[in-house]
Structure 1
Amino acid sequence: MSASLDSPAPPATATPVSWRPLVAACLGTFLLVLYTTIVTVALPRIGADLGGDFTALQWVVDVFTVALAGLLLGMGSLSDALGRRRVYLAGLVAFGLSTLACGVAGSVTALVAARAAQGVAGAAMFATILPLVGLTYHGQARARAFAVWGTVAGAGGAVGTVAGGVLADLLGWRWIFLASLPLCVAALILAVTSLAESPPGGQRVDVPGIVAFTLAATAMTYTVINGGDHGWGATGTLVGAGVAALAVVGFVLVERHSRAPMVPPSLFGTRAFVGVLVVAFSYYFAAFGALPVVSLWLQETTGLGPTATSVVLALQVVVFFLVSALLSDRLHRPAPSLVLGGATVLIGLGCAAAVLVLAAPGWPALLPMLVITGFGAGIVSPVFPAVAIAAVPPSYGGTAGAAANSSRQLGLALGIALCGTIYRGHGQDTTGGVVQTLLCCAALAMASGLVAAHLLRRPRQQNRSDQPNQADRSDQSRQPSQPDHT
């Protein structure tokens, strides 16, 4: 011991860290997040070119999110069984091919089908990117890698919002898909040559659970869209509602009797976990579900072009990104009930600010709504994954995080569907329609925020030792969330 103190040993040669795997993961993440937002502003141009009606345009946006929400948990299970690199590469190839199919689609039906394939491929990528980064990097390099990844994920949403309008204006809507194909090829080459494979775990894949959950998500979205198009008593609407109800019951039964359920039913007996699911669903629904409607209103009523509309909507993403990046470390200190519940209520208040449009029906009246909802979403984003993980036993942490992200994507899918239905129900009164849509989002967010705050409140009689301590919460805060503007 004295020798080691008196004469320091020669420094160990550190193995150089290769950042090529991180570049591969970040490029895939950027593409995935990009296509959650890039289509929104181009919808009027797509409709004019392909002749799609309002319902078809809703599906162009929503089918991607439905596929992502419905298959995210299942793809996670599949990657555990088959190997994450293998599933990620398959998803990346399918993503590139489906993006090409979107760019050459000759009809709205073909475009919707290609967007569905994009969503399926995106789910395979979404479920595997972060575990692959965690597998590749360790210690300080891992923390740095996650920080870079989070920055790229946040930037992807902002770039998509702006790029969609600019490309649609300058080159035509098809280029919002075709322009990214070189990036898809580059991401695939980097991934093949740099990413390491995780050892297959041999776990069972819950195929019945995957089918039931995906069917439930699709049927619920179809019911809302068809109800607005043909009426809530229409045969198609009633059939969709029936299928959704049966699929939900089937999912519950399958999970209760499965030996390897995607989501163990016992987790739903945990108040905090349920509270996180409520927040994840409602904050994404309220903050981002109305954006396609707002985009249509800005272009069809106020006369803004796609590029100008992109710039207006990008304000929300920029605020969201800045708040999430600058305040993330501090947001884990207060009680989750205050942070998550309060921020969700704040999003509701932001949506309610849309009443200013009635007094001055132009794009400036939307700025308070965009700033406040972006601020609230930026508070929720870095916190809810860590709270979801801390709410359940350690062995279920990954499942809890994936379930929270699935709830978020489902909230976006149903938000787009319901907001579109409300907006179209106002016919020619588009200004009244956009205000009513955002007021409904406000009501949902404020009510959900209060419910979530109650569920996330710690029981007084619970021992402090049963709760994650400050160090634990700080540790969890460094685990990144999935891309949020998706």
Structure 2
Amino acid sequence: MSVKPGAADTSAAVTTASWLPLIVVVLTQIQASFAVNALTVSMAGITTDLDTPATSVGTAITAGTFAMAAFILLGAKIGARYGTRLVFQIAVAIHGLAMAAVALSQSPAMLFVAQAASGAVIALIAPALTVFIATNFSGDQQAKAIGYLAAAIPAAGVLALLIAGSFATTIGWRYSFALVVALAVVNLVLSFRVKPVPPQKDITIDWAGAAIAAVAVILLSFGFSGLNSWGVILATDAAPFSVIGVSPAAILIVLGTICAQGFFQWTRSRKAQNKPQLFNLDVLKTGAERATTICMATMMFVGTAANFLIPLYMQIIQGRSSLQTSFSIIPYTLSIFIASTVVARLYKTYSPRLIARAGFVVVAAGLILLAFTIRGDWHQIFVVIGLITLGLGQGAIVALVFNTLLTAAPKELAGDVGAWRGLVHNMSGSVGIAVASVFAVGILGTLVSSQLIDNPTIPASLKVESGINLDQVNFVPNDQLVVTLENTSATQAQIDEAIRINTEARLRALRTSLLVLAGLSLLAIIPAGRMPNEVPALEEPQPTKGKK
């Protein structure tokens, strides 16, 4: 049953459910997202306090991300088997303890273990949030709740910037994670007022499928994260190993893809034999649901890639600090938040298909505007407008696709929908950053090489003297380039020419990357056209018996 877009709702009035479960959902999402963002914002303080390089903090963040992605499908089944609320409460408590361990960390190893543990329990939390929404809300309330859940992620980013950034520069970075511990206590106490979801004790967990899925996710995650440093096809000197010269990144991606295909084949086989499966393929049984997943993956790919390129532009080209960069992208983050919360108002008037198509056009328009207006000065009004436009389209699509998947699936599959959403978000985001990095650096290298070859101002001898490797060109600030060339025999004219080449090549590489992302957004109109053409019918709660 479906409701035509714009059709009047003739059903009887129903009692609005309490918003308390949504408060728990939003605060818990902020708890999980704030913890990761605070780690990034506090990187300088952590590296100084623990006497460790920034790469160690990056490794800890990666460990948490990989752990969440690897076990999120298993987390959904554990929640269903033992009771969503109980598993959620245990996970929130463990996450709070992990954040306490981060706050008390005395070594990089302790930080790594605590962050990995927090990522693993988020794999239990993320599906539970979806189940809480599906079991406590329906109709318009459910659509709004999904929007608020989607908006909680950018909200956590802004809060981490304002709060963790302030703490890191005043009382110390550890207080940010003490705040997360306090938030975990609040969420744990409030969760006892959320009605329990009965455990499905007849569920048997497919541990073999869980192992295959975890191996696939880990291989793909490591493979894509190593593309830039290890090489796309051929191994670089930084690669930990190679097989007949082939990059380990390419090998891991191929092996991960094989394992992923093996997981789906294993799952189909168990379903055919009426055996328990780790992931219910009914979530993706129709062409519309698969198209919705493609739209979700595309938007996360484009969004995270743009979110990587924009700070790169501000920090490398403009020379802004990480904190200054974070403040500069607040308009972008806030526009995602606003769009995620208000897009539900369009569901009764416009179909998911139309909203998705319009959203991808808006995203492409924002990226194109950015590509044609970025210069050396960030304070251009059109750049800010481009960021806001991008955020509005991105926020609307992220909330829309999640709502479409959840409303199309039975309530008992809400955990599977939540786990699938988390997995697609995580993997698409990781791939987006990796591919954007490789593509932008590749374009930069090609542009620099074309400018340096047969350049009359910069002779070949200077390239050798300065140690410039045209096969490993990367984004570097002009100041760093000047320092390198001043240690050579380069004249001022040659330094000026090198700066000109570097400046032009960086801007062109970033603009080209943004335009390619815009093109990918426009291509996403095709799968968006296969999304539902009608608003999915949402089961309304029945009036309480005995009441008139």
TM-score by length of 2: 0.69
2:402 corresponds in structure 1 to 385
1:255 aligns with 2:327: no
Q: CA RMSD in A?
A: 4.0
Distance in 2 of aligned mates of 1:435 and 1:105: 43
Q: Which region of structure 1 is more displaced relative to structure 2, 234-243 or 374-383?
A: 234-243
Residues 335-354 of structure 1 deviation map (CA, whole Å, 9 limit, x = unaligned):
43332244234324433444
Maintained 8 Å contact 1:161/1:314: no
CA deviation after TM superposition for structure 1 residue 137, in Å: 6.9
1:97 corresponds in structure 2 to 97
1:163 corresponds in structure 2 to 163
2:455 corresponds in structure 1 to none
Residues 1:246 and 1:24: Cα distance change in structure 2 (over 3 Å):
same
Q: Which region of structure 1 is more displaced relative to structure 2, 273-282 or 25-34?
A: 25-34
Residues 139-180 of structure 1 deviation map (CA, whole Å, 9 limit, x = unaligned):
999889778767656633432343343333334444432332
CA deviation after TM superposition for structure 1 residue 306, in Å: 4.6
Distance in 1 of aligned mates of 2:508 and 2:52: 24
1:312 aligns with 2:324: no
> In structure 1, the residue corresponding to 2:325 is in which secondary structure?
helix
Residues 227-278 of structure 1 deviation map (CA, whole Å, 9 limit, x = unaligned):
3223233323244234313321321222122222244456656322222111
Distance in 2 of aligned mates of 1:421 and 1:50: 31
Maintained 8 Å contact 2:302/2:521: no
Bigger helix fraction = 1
1:399 aligns with 2:416: yes
Equivalent residue for 2:476, pick from 418, 426, 429: 429
Distance in 1 of aligned mates of 2:137 and 2:405: 24
Distance in 2 of aligned mates of 1:52 and 1:90: 32
Residues 7-65 of structure 1 deviation map (CA, whole Å, 9 limit, x = unaligned):
xxxxxxxx999876655444323212323533444445555666766765554444433
Equivalent residue for 1:339, pick from 351, 355, 372: 355
CA deviation after TM superposition for structure 1 residue 99, in Å: 1.6
1:413 aligns with 2:430: yes
1:64 corresponds in structure 2 to 64
Maintained 8 Å contact 1:319/1:371: yes
Residues 207-246 of structure 1 deviation map (CA, whole Å, 9 limit, x = unaligned):
2333322322222221122232232333232442343133
1:443 aligns with 2:443: no
Distance in 2 of aligned mates of 1:292 and 1:447: 16
1:201 corresponds in structure 2 to 200
Q: How many residues align?
A: 453
Distance in 1 of aligned mates of 2:208 and 2:87: 19
Residues 1:81 and 1:382: Cα distance change in structure 2 (over 3 Å):
same
Equivalent residue for 1:286, pick from 302, 305, 312: 302
Residues 1:146 and 1:382: Cα distance change in structure 2 (over 3 Å):
closer
Give runs of aligned pairs for residues 258-273 of structure 1, distance below 5 A: 258=270, 259-265=275-281, 268=284, 270-273=286-289
CA deviation after TM superposition for structure 1 residue 402, in Å: 4.0
The one-letter amino acid paired with 2:376 is A
Distance in 2 of aligned mates of 1:393 and 1:195: 21
1:246 aligns with 2:258: yes
Residues 1:351 and 1:147: Cα distance change in structure 2 (over 3 Å):
closer
Distance in 1 of aligned mates of 2:47 and 2:356: 38
Distance in 1 of aligned mates of 2:433 and 2:339: 24
Residues 1:17 and 1:197: Cα distance change in structure 2 (over 3 Å):
same
1:189 aligns with 2:189: yes
1:28 corresponds in structure 2 to 28
Equivalent residue for 2:392, pick from 364, 375, 378: 375
1:179 corresponds in structure 2 to 179
Residues 1:442 and 1:276: Cα distance change in structure 2 (over 3 Å):
farther
Maintained 8 Å contact 1:38/1:162: no
TM-score by length of 1: 0.77
1:455 corresponds in structure 2 to 527
Q: Which region of structure 1 is more displaced relative to structure 2, 226-235 or 303-312?
A: 303-312
Q: Which region of structure 1 is more displaced relative to structure 2, 214-223 or 356-365?
A: 356-365
Gaps of 5+ in 1: 1-14, 460-466, 479-486
1:323 aligns with 2:339: yes
Give runs of aligned pairs for residues 99-248 of structure 1, distance below 5 A: 99-106=99-106, 108=108, 110-132=110-132, 135=135, 155-191=155-191, 193-202=192-201, 203-232=203-232, 233-234=234-235, 235=242, 236-248=248-260
Residues 1:352 and 1:133: Cα distance change in structure 2 (over 3 Å):
closer
> In structure 1, the residue corresponding to 2:277 is in which secondary structure?
coil
Residues 1:429 and 1:422: Cα distance change in structure 2 (over 3 Å):
farther
CA deviation after TM superposition for structure 1 residue 380, in Å: 0.5
Maintained 8 Å contact 1:286/1:415: yes
Which of the pair has more CA radius of gyration? 2
Distance in 2 of aligned mates of 1:222 and 1:195: 38
Residues 1:345 and 1:212: Cα distance change in structure 2 (over 3 Å):
farther
Identity among equivalent positions (%) equals 19
> In structure 1, the residue corresponding to 2:329 is in which secondary structure?
helix
The one-letter amino acid paired with 2:426 is Q
CA deviation after TM superposition for structure 1 residue 83, in Å: 0.5
The one-letter amino acid paired with 2:395 is G
Maintained 8 Å contact 1:161/1:310: yes
Distance in 2 of aligned mates of 1:275 and 1:79: 27
Distance in 2 of aligned mates of 1:143 and 1:331: 8
Distance in 2 of aligned mates of 1:434 and 1:166: 32
